[in-house]
Structure 1
Amino acid sequence: MAGPRVTLLAHAATRGQRSAVFAADGAIEEAGRIRAGHIARRMDKVDRVYFSPARAARETAEALGLSGTPEDALRDCDYGRWAGQSFQHVLRREPRKLLSWMRQPDTAPHGGETIAALLERVGLWFQALPRDGGHVLAISHAAILRAAIATVIGAGPAAFWRIDAGPLTMADFRSNGRRWVFRSLTLPDRASDIGAGDAGAGSDG
């Protein structure tokens, strides 16, 4: 039996994401809904589906034609008081605090979650997954996808900002029952090309 597999999919784009808004939840755009439909037709069979409690993640699952289970561990990063504000707005109002947050993963000047805590949360979710060899699809956020890659490859929080991910970016992870490995990354412009097999090689919501 093949070992456990996780496919992490960042939800389709929302209007807030286009404006680089922190925690930009909301309805997914029609273009993303259509693209998700294309992905569904080419995606490998999945045994379990989990999604973030966010509306955008739930709607992405619906666009894929899949039902699943809400999973709180897949929620977006908690951006504290920055939630709902654009990156540019925060940069103008609190440039030093924004820079501190991006450079020091153990700090949370917004009063929310640190990047280090985000990686720990995602790592614990991976550890808690069943080891029965099933294929799990997890629909979440680009921040969760970046955190997962950084955690699995052992790069730590410093790698978080060095991983490119946006709406409908997909990451594939495999396990031999003892440890997880990062297999591949499919960027949005290639997401509809995923077939039965591996994803092709390779911003937040």
Structure 2
Amino acid sequence: MTVRVMLISAAHSAALREARIDDEGPLDEAGARRAARAASAVPGAGRMLTAPDARCRETAAALGLRAEPEPAVRGWDLGRWRGSTLEDLTVREPDAVAAWLTDPSAAPHGGESLDALRERAGGWLEGLAGEGGRVLAVAGPAVVRAAVLHALALPAEAFWRLDAAPLTLTELSGRAGRWNLRIGRPLEQ
């Protein structure tokens, strides 16, 4: 059975604008305004989901979606690094950052490794494949990137080369083990 999974990358938050590792905080005012302006461009779907963090829930609400929380698309758990900048972490913990960026099984922050994130996002995606229809989910950029990695069977290193800009739509269509990708188009016109 074919399913179309449409992933909307959440709007801007203060953490994103300040280049901090996501702290699961709320949208900032500009992000909320941009999401509200993009509402008319959101495609229809039989199921609408959102990651449970504030940024994603508020993006879904600003887009006018009645989305149910989906724990499988929650943000990447980066443990004690949450709220820090990569620049600060590189100064304080250079070896840990190097391991995190080069070893997909590393989790020096005490949260999820890239492998664990990819497995979670991939498991969710494969679970949807048996349902068919159209599913729309608002998620953080790391989850969107991990879903793309899984769908296209890309090597883990490709994660660091993908970008999921705020308020872009990434579409995956297919079925378990065979996916096609339509790369993130902006929702704003």
Regarding TM over 0.5, the answer is yes
- Partner of 1:155, secondary structure, is coil
Matched, 1:112 2:111: yes
How big is the shift at 1:178? Answer: 6.0
Identical aligned pairs, as a percentage? Answer: 38
C-alpha RMSD over aligned residues: 1.7
Matched, 1:8 2:4: no
- Alignment coverage as a number of residue pairs: 189
For residues 95 and 21 of structure 1, what CA distance do their matches in structure 2 show? 16
Provide the residue aligned with 1:80 in structure 2. 79
Aligned: 1:66 with 2:65:
yes
Tell me the TM-score normalized by structure 1: 0.85
CA distance, structure 2, for counterparts of residue 55 and residue 43 of structure 1 = 19
Q: Post-superposition, which runs of at least 4 consecutive aligned residues in structure 1 deviate over 3 A?
A: 130-133
Measure, in 2, the Cα distance between the counterparts of 1:69 and 1:26.
18
Contact kept in structure 1, 2:42 and 2:187, CA below 8 Å? no
1:136 paired to 2:132: no
- 87 and 47 in structure 1: CA distance in 2 versus 1, 3 angstrom threshold: same
**Distance in 2 separating the partners of 1:145 and 1:175:** 16
Query: What's the CA shift string for 1:135-172, capped at 9, x where partnerless?
Result: 11111100001111111111131110010123223211
- Deviation at residue 95 of structure 1 after TM alignment: 1.3
Alpha carbons of structure 1 residues 185 and 15: separation in structure 2 relative to 1, 3 Å: same
Q: Residue 167 of structure 2 aligns with which residue? A: 168
User: Please, which runs of 5 or more residues in structure 2 have no aligned partner?
Assistant: none
Maintained 8 Å contact 2:126/2:176: no
TM-score in terms of structure 2 length? 0.92
Number of the residue aligned with 2:28: 29
How far 1:176 sits from its partner (Å)? 4.7
More strand by share: 2
Q: In the superposition, relative to structure 1, how do residues 35 and 174 fare at CA in structure 2: closer, same or farther (>3 Å)?
A: same
> How many angstroms does 1:122 deviate by?
0.5
Give the aligned partner of residue 192 of structure 1: 188
Stretches of structure 1 that go unaligned for 5 or more consecutive residues are 194-205
Q: What amino acid is the match of 1:89?
A: D
CA deviation after TM superposition for structure 1 residue 26, in Å = 1.7
Letter in 2 for 1:125: W
Cα distance in 2 between the residues matched to 1:53 and 1:133: 23
